[in-house]
Amino acid sequence: MTPCVLALGGHDFTSQPPDRALGELLLRLATERAAGRPRISLLTVDDPEMAARVGRFHSAFEARPCDSSAISLPELAGRRQELRDRLLAQDLIYVSGADLHGLLGTWDATRLGEILTLAWRRGIVLAGESAGAMCWFDAGITSSSGHAEPGAGLGLLGGSLCVHYSSEPDRREAYLQAVADGMPDGYGIDDHAGLIWDGGPSPFAVTARRGARAYRVAARETGVAESPLPARFLPAPAPSVMREDIAEFRRIRSIRRRAGWPS
């Protein structure tokens, strides 16, 4: 099975139409690779906001035809075989946005990069947004230190990537300068836009929000050129009434328990 990577400029697991559309894309990519019911996992890092992200992730997929799970790297860092077995049992692994330097540093310490490289070679879809998208490339633009600067990635995909391309002008400016200074050519991706590598030499672009785009960025004799890529628009699926009913039921039950009422 051919390796597949989905890089997203920015995304969350909310009920907003662009996020629902990208969630549907994740499910489709996992289903295409699955032998049975698709398995989708969120690979989490030590982040104070991660618990809320995990909750939104489960809400996004609990009413869909798949098995979703969150795999905590901090919890399994010392159990490498278990971490390996769980990751290689997935059809799609999603890496959430984080600190690119910290992310790759943690992967080096736990040898997670070796496991993810094996997953990629086996055809398990690797996906992610922000740092979780840049990590697959040779290089990206990180704001880990408080300002935008180049950072190294895992190198599964050649070239470079800059995320949040239009929403963070400082990051885009730093990327253009880095490419002019010798960083490998690559791509810029807006929030709610993405690029898919699926066996071909070049990616194809998708967008879940009107106006969100992906760009080819390359050094030329006359300067650095930005070329918008043609993109397929992803319409948002209708909200799941079942999922919304479940969420409302849980909210009411939580209120009743806090009030000491019978649930």
For the stretch 50-102, pLDDT in tens is 888 899 999 999 889 999 999 988 788 788 899 999 999 999 999 987 788 88
Q: What is the pLDDT of residue 113?
A: 92
Dihedral in degrees, nearest 10, Cα atoms 41, 106, 180, 202: -30
Q: Pairing relation of β-strands 125-129 and 5-8?
A: parallel
Q: Both tokens of residue 226?
A: 């930005």
Q: Pairing relation of β-strands 223-228 and 204-207?
A: unpaired
**pLDDT score of 49 more than 80:** no
- Tens digit of pLDDT for each residue in 141-184? 998 778 899 999 999 999 999 999 999 999 999 999 999 999 99
Residue 79 DSSP SS3 = coil
Beta carbons of 226 and 217 less than 8 angstroms apart: yes
Do you know the residue count of the chain?
263
Burial class of residue 247 in the structure, from the number of CB atoms within 10 Å of its CB (0-12 exposed, 13-18 middle, 19+ buried): middle
Beta carbons of 159 and 179 less than 8 angstroms apart: no
Q: Which of 55, 12, 18 is nearest to 251 (CA)?
A: 55
Q: What is the pLDDT of residue 260?
A: 59
Q: How far apart are CA 84 and CA 203, in angstroms?
A: 28
Q: What is the pLDDT of residue 242?
A: 42
Residue 5 banded pLDDT, cuts 50, 70, 90: very high
Q: What is the pLDDT of residue 263?
A: 46
Q: What is the pLDDT of residue 144?
A: 76
Percent of the chain, pLDDT > 70?
90
Entry pTM: 0.88
Could you tell me where the DSSP H helices lie in 34-149? 50-61, 73-76, 80-88, 100-110, 112-121, 131-134
Please give the positions annotated as active site. 130, 164
